[in-house]
Each structure stands twice: as C-alpha cells, then as structure tokens.
A and B are shown apart, each in its own frame.
Chain A
C-alpha cells in the first residue's frame, strides 16, 4: 500500500511539468522532494550500519548501547534545531528522518549516556554526560581560499578552483594513511563549497582532544589570521618528510601545471605584487617587479605570461647571488601559500563538534553530499554531482520497476551508494568484527585464567 502512495506522489511531480522534458522536475529544493528522497533514496541501512561499527547485536562481544549513545542533530525547515536526537535501531532512525524530514542531518559524538536522556543524568552533579568517542573529522571550505583564487569567491566554486580541494584530499589522505596508519577514511562532498573527511578507525574514534589537536597542528602550515602578510613560513634547514613529500608529490605539480594558469596568478600587477610581497629580499622583488612592468607589451609571445614570470621568479631566487637558504625556501613558501590545505582547525580539535552527514542534500544547491573516492579524486566534478530534482527525475523516468530491490539503483545515486558500500563500509565492518572478536576472546581468556588460578 505504501508503495502505491509513494508512486502517486512521484507521479504528481512528474505531472506538474509535463511541458518540459517529461522527466524533469524543477531545480528547486523543497520539503516535498526531500520527503521523497528520504522515503525512497536515502540509504538508511548502510548509514546506520556505518555508525553502529559492528555493535549490531549479533556478536556476543558487542556493545548494544553503542549506537544509541550517538548524537544526531536535525535542522528542520525554518532553521529549527533539534539537537541530541538518538536512535537505537535503524527502524527508529528511519522513521524519525521520514517524519521530521530534516533539511540537514548532523552527526555528533558518542556520549557516555544516551544524549536524549542527558537531563536525567544532569541531576547527579558529576559530569557523567560527556563525549567518549568520535570520528576524527576535517572540514575544508573553499571560501577560506579567497585570497588565492580569482575565478570565484565566497561559497561559489568552479572547475578552475576545485583543484584546491583535490590537493587537500590527496595530501591529507596520504598522510592519514602513511603517517598515522589509519585505514577507514571517508571523503564527502559538502554539497556546496568544500569537502569533509571522516576517519573512522577505532583508534581514531578514541583519540582525546589533545591528540586530535596534535594531528590538526601536524597538518597546519597556513597560519596567522587576517593581519599578517606572510601566512606560510617554513623554517629549518630542510622540510619535514611529510611536507617534503606533499610538495614534490602534489603541491608543485598542481601549482605549476594547473593553478598558475587557471587562476592567472601572474597576469596583472596586483596579482604578481601579492606574490612578490612574499619575497623577503626587497631587491629581488623590486627587480622582478620592474622587469614585468616594463615588458608588458613584449609579453604577447606564445609563452604564457604566468609560466614565464614564474620561471623568472624561480631563477631570480635560485641564482648565484641569492643562494642564501632563505630565498630558495621562498619558492616553496609561495607554492605552499597558494596550494596547501587550509583546515578549519576547531572542527578537528574537539570531540563534540557536529558535522553534516553524508548523503544529505545541501539546501542551497540541491546537491547530494556524495562520497568522493580519494584514489580518483581528480575526476570528481562538483558541478555534475546529482541534485535532488535530477534524482527524482530519474526515478520518474525509470517508472515503477519491481525487479530492483532499492530505488536508488535506478538513479545516478547508485554509483555513490555502491562506492560507499564497497570501498568504505565493507572493509570497515570487517575490521570492526575482527576487533570485537579479538577483544571478546581476550576477555574470555582472561576470565578463564582467573578461574583456573
């Protein structure tokens, strides 16, 4: 019966816009569409399995209260916030999401007690309501790069500045795996202007705030608020292996082969002056400035002016008379300034920060917060991410099939859900099971030992 109702609803939407392409729905975001999305497409099951981390009641060693102590926060239409929601089963979560139809779902930490019952514990005086576990998370917003991109500003993003996000994914992903030894990392498009990262290894979930801050600081190169000119300084005789690897593997190539041109970094006096300001030796800077100002006319050669000027800057800094360590390092500092990831540090440092859940729909763009494959992140294009209306259109176009088990299989969300399952969820759950198993066995062993003893 419910199926029939759903169908009727979808048909109606289709009907409204018969004149346009038969499958099109208006490019808007509204509660009605969202309701259908939550009803038919949102992968409730996979989502809940993820946050249960294997504690789903099947293994004798699992912690059945685990997922029920997780905070969810819903933002309803008209910016009404419902914090400290919690669910102890996928059915409870699913029905709440369908009923409340949140414009945004945020995920908070796992608390010591069920967050929905926190007031009951508050009386006891001692602070028993505290966060105890949380994924290590990172939030990167492209609006934090406004001083180094000229194609867009604020919340806008295009294919010319998106590479800044690709750089972030490549650098953090490599370091989280190689340096910190994490394996279960989920990258998600934030739906509009950036990316989110969820590190889900149990070791990561158990980090305390100080350890989280240490990791965030390890990644922090870009410094110093709005009031310093030079935001990146790289002291020391050589770069730390992590920074050196980031530079040679990622930053240098993106700067020279992509951003230099796409952002036209040296195209006008205002722009190159900003780069020259990063050179500590005023003589070198003014020499270059004069040279570029003078040859404005002659620069109509085939060579791109940005590439030419970058080469000139490099050779000026590397030339014999400026062999001083500081100036050579300056090339790296410029590249880091224009390319290196800029994290929202506060999000990563504390356990109790909320972060938008994957597979939400961004209310401003209508785009789905889809997972990004870090191994193929070069191919990710934010402008082609499925939108809510597109998905509903596809659903309508596919008509009512009974052969597919899930409705999402008939839309372009399929790729994202399959990726989430195969590349993230399955390996994660396998590791969770193994950990549960070994912890359980160790406990058994221990109780056995104490018995015989």
Chain B
C-alpha cells in the first residue's frame, strides 16, 4: 500500500492483491493491497471504520445477543463504510483496515481491542454472506474439512438434534456437518453449542463461521505483532512528519482516555477513600469497598478491578499497600499479606514482573467478567440479582421513578446506561457522554462536586 499526497489514481487493485474479496466482497486482509491511497482518505477511511468498531464495542458491552449484533453490524457498516462505487467500497474496506492496524499495533492493550473488534466484525459480516461465498472464504482459509459421511452422520444424528434444540433451533437437523478437533472451535465448545465426542466437535454448516473466525483471528493476531515490529523499527521514524502524527492522533481520538495515569496529577489520600466512595465511586467499586471492609478480604478478580481503579483515581503505591494491608492483615495477618498479596499490588503498579503499568478496567471488560463463588467484582447491573441490585441502589439513596428507570435499562441489558442513570440520579445532573469507565465516573463526579462546592462558596461570599 502506497500513500500519496493527492493526485487521484485509485485502482481497484484490491481484488487480485490478496485483499481476497469473496463473492460478496468480504476481504480476509492477508496481504496489503497494491494500491495508492490519498492522505486525506488514509485518515477519513480509518475514522469511518473506527466508528464501526466503536459501535461494535458498545454493542458487546451491552451484552447484545448474536442476532442483535448481526443487525447492529449490518447497520453500522451501511452507515459508515458504503461508497457509491462498489469497487471503492472494497478499497475503503481494505485501506481502512490496514491503516487501523498501524494505529492499533503499538501496545498490547490496543492490539487486544482491535483484534477483538475486527474479529467480531468479520464474524457477523461472514454470517451475512451467501453460502456460496462462505464456501469460497473457507477455501481461502484453506480449511480442509470434509462434510460428515452419511453413515457417521446417522450414528450421531440424535445427539446433534439435541444440541440444536438447546440453542433454540428446530429438531430437524441440518444435513451438512464438519467433524473437527474441538480445539478449533473454542467459542462453540465454551457455550456448549456443539456436540463433542472423543475429542471431535460436530460443527453445523451454520456454525462454520467459528472455524473461519478462529483462522481469521489467528492471522490478524500474528500480523499485528509483525506490523508493530515494522512500525517501531522503521515506519515511525520515516513517517514522523506525515503518517505518525495521524496515526497517533487516531488512537487517542477514539479509544477514549487511558486511565492508567491519574489525570492532572490528581491524588487521593488514604483517609478520604470512604468519603469519596460515598460521593463519587460507581456502584461496582462502592460494593467492593464495602465487602472489603466487611470481610477484610477480596478475591483475585476483586483485587484487580478495585485495586486498578484506585490506582487510576490517584492512590499512590505506598498508600495502596497501606490500604490493602490494613484490611487483609485483620484476616490473614500482616506477615502473610506481605508475602502473598503485596507482590501483586506492586505488580499492578508496574513494580514487579513484566513491569507493565496496568490499566484500570473499562466497563466493557468489567461487564464481560464472570464472577464465581465468593467473588464481588464484575458489574452490579449485570451480575447482581434483581433484589440485590435494588437494595444496593436504595442504599445509594435511589428509589421511586429513577430506580424503576434504572431497573428497566438493566432488564434490556443496557448496563452502562443503567450506570449513567445512577450517576445522574445521584448527582442530580445529566451526563450526556455516558459512563464507559469507572474512573470516568469518578472524575466526572469529582468535577460536578467541585463545581457545586465553588458555587456554594461564591454564594457565601456575596
């Protein structure tokens, strides 16, 4: 791919060039295409694709069901990626993908996000393809699967129909199945959507997307690591006046702020935590603080989610150690705390092990957590039972109409909206941006309270 300044010479070269446009025009992005891109388009196309990926991220964090995601992806694609000329549409698709690879190859966190969103996008676009082009894509990924022979099919037919019925399909079994090692369809195994026997998964034609997606994901994952190497080794320096500023701006503009470093050198001190929790912590964090004070213990998931949040809110490492030690030592003794738990706290602050400065969890990550026995982390709107959630909101002083509105959002799986409405009810002010990060909740809340304080003070002055 060659990026040129402005003269117009866009060839629809994506086809042969490994963009791999299937019949329906779903590329596999295996090789960067041989085509020229104007600098403006470089940026504009990328922004449009980012809009799609952001939309997908929002959909996932709301816990949308597959059918809803399919519809969402279709709409997002139509809204942002269409071009009046079909050949251009394919080019735009491929160009924007490769630009974003540059943008999102640079840190582990960025790669993970991009990989996950691109894979989801591909998954639902694949589902929208015709069987014919699905088969073409399969062969493009060199999936050597042969459909199950009739005799073998008859032997397991009952089990296949049983599985089909558990996922709400009719009992009449599809006729084409592929028998593959279970390792190749982890998502189907995880959700028990396949029949397993002796290490093989029986994948229906309608589920073949999982096989393809595993390949797709694997390819992109490897490619991102390579791109990163090229970026740091050469491109970043070569392009420092041209592409580098665009690439860097792109990741900031849409990824949302990074809360690993508290903004504006805000600091919170140990003695203020309980007061701040009451006024400015989102429900998930209030709940964990409460449980920590009550049990003098939090399990791993809770320590990560809550500990990183406190770090992001501005709690210094020494204070964090003192904070956790004060509680844990009541339960396990300070000696055991120093031996078993202090390490992971320093680790979170980048002082041990890989020395990565870990980023506080976003709502999306928290919502997709799977708390188990004894766990208190996760998103209350998603993981609490209705009774418990009502009680917790009551405790925050929320009742009546606002409470019912929140519960309504929860029922429709709009967990972040429910949290946003809780923010609004608790602060008596509207929050147009919406809540998508617990640290954002915290800093917005602090902003509101400071403004109120100032208003009160200036009133007192006059």
A144 close to B (CB within 8 Å): yes
Q: Which of B163, B198, B376 contacts A225 (CB 8 A)?
A: B376
A39 to B129, CA, bound (A): 67
Bound CA span A237–B163, Å: 10
Q: A81-B339, A238-B162 are in contact. Are A211 and B198 (CB under 8 A)?
A: no
Q: Which stretch from A3-11, A30-38, A226-234, A356-364 is at the chain B interface?
A: A226-234
Q: B446 to nearest A CB, angstroms?
A: 27
Beta-carbon contact of A239 and B166 below 8 Å = yes
For chain B residues 181-206, which have a beta carbon within 8 Å of chain A?
182-183, 186-187, 189-192, 195-200
Within A200-237, which residues are at the interface with B (CB < 8 Å)?
A: 203, 207, 210-211, 213-215, 217-218, 220, 222-230, 236-237
In the complex, B380 has a CB within 8 A of chain A: yes
Residue ID in chain B nearest A180 by CB atoms: B199
Q: Does B336 touch A at the CB level, under 8 Å?
A: yes
**Are A230 and B385 within 8 A (Cβ)?**
yes
Please encode chain A, from 63 to 88, with 1 for each CB lying within 8 Å of some chain B CB and 0 for all others.
00000000000000001010000000
B66 to chain A, nearest CB (A): 14
Asked if B165 is an interface residue, CB under 8 A from chain A, the answer is yes
**In the complex the two chains form, is A226's CB within 8 Å of B376's CB?**
yes
Q: A237-B168, A240-B166 are in contact. Are A211 and B195 (CB under 8 A)?
A: no
**In the assembled complex, B10 has its CB within 8 A of some CB on chain A:** no
A-chain residues with CB within 8 Å of residue B195 when the two chains form the complex: 241
Interface residues on A, range: 35 or more
Most chain-B Cβ atoms within 10 A of its Cβ — which of A81, A223, A236, A345? A236
Cβ-defined partner of A179 (8 Å) among B165, B187, B196, B340 = B196
Is there an interface contact between A213 and B375, defined as CB atoms closer than 8 Å? Answer: no
CA distance A239 to B198 in the complex (A): 19
| A397 adjacent to chain B (CB < 8 Å) | no
Q: Which of B340-386 contact A (CB under 8 A)?
A: 340, 370-378, 380, 383-385
CB distance from A103 to the nearest CB of B (A): 13
User: Whose C-beta in chain B lies nearest to the C-beta of A237?
Assistant: B165
Contacts of A240 in B (CB 8 A): 162-163, 166, 192
A346 contacts the other chain (CB 8 A):
yes
Restricting to A102-119, which residues have a CB under 8 Å from any CB of B? Answer: none
B450 at the interface (CB under 8 A from A): no
B339 touches A79 (CB 8 A): yes
Residues of B contacting A236 with CB < 8 Å?
165-168
Q: Are A214 and B162 in contact (CB under 8 A)?
A: no
* Residue contact A228 to B383, C-beta cutoff 8 Å: yes
- Are A238 and B166 in touch, CB under 8 angstroms? yes
| B330 → A minimal CB distance (Å) | 17
Does A442 make an interface contact (CB < 8 A)? Answer: no
A residues whose Cβ falls under 8 Å from a Cβ of B: 79, 81, 144, 178-182, 203, 207, 210-211, 213-215, 217-218, 220, 222-230, 236-244, 342, 344-346
Residues of B within 8 A of A (CB): 159, 162-163, 165-168, 182-183, 186-187, 189-192, 195-200, 287, 300-301, 335-336, 339-340, 370-378, 380, 383-385, 387-389
Query: What are 18 A-B pairs at a CB distance below 8 A?
Result: A182-B199, A203-B183, A203-B199, A213-B190, A217-B189, A218-B192, A225-B372, A225-B373, A225-B383, A226-B375, A226-B376, A227-B376, A228-B383, A228-B388, A239-B162, A241-B163, A342-B372, A345-B370
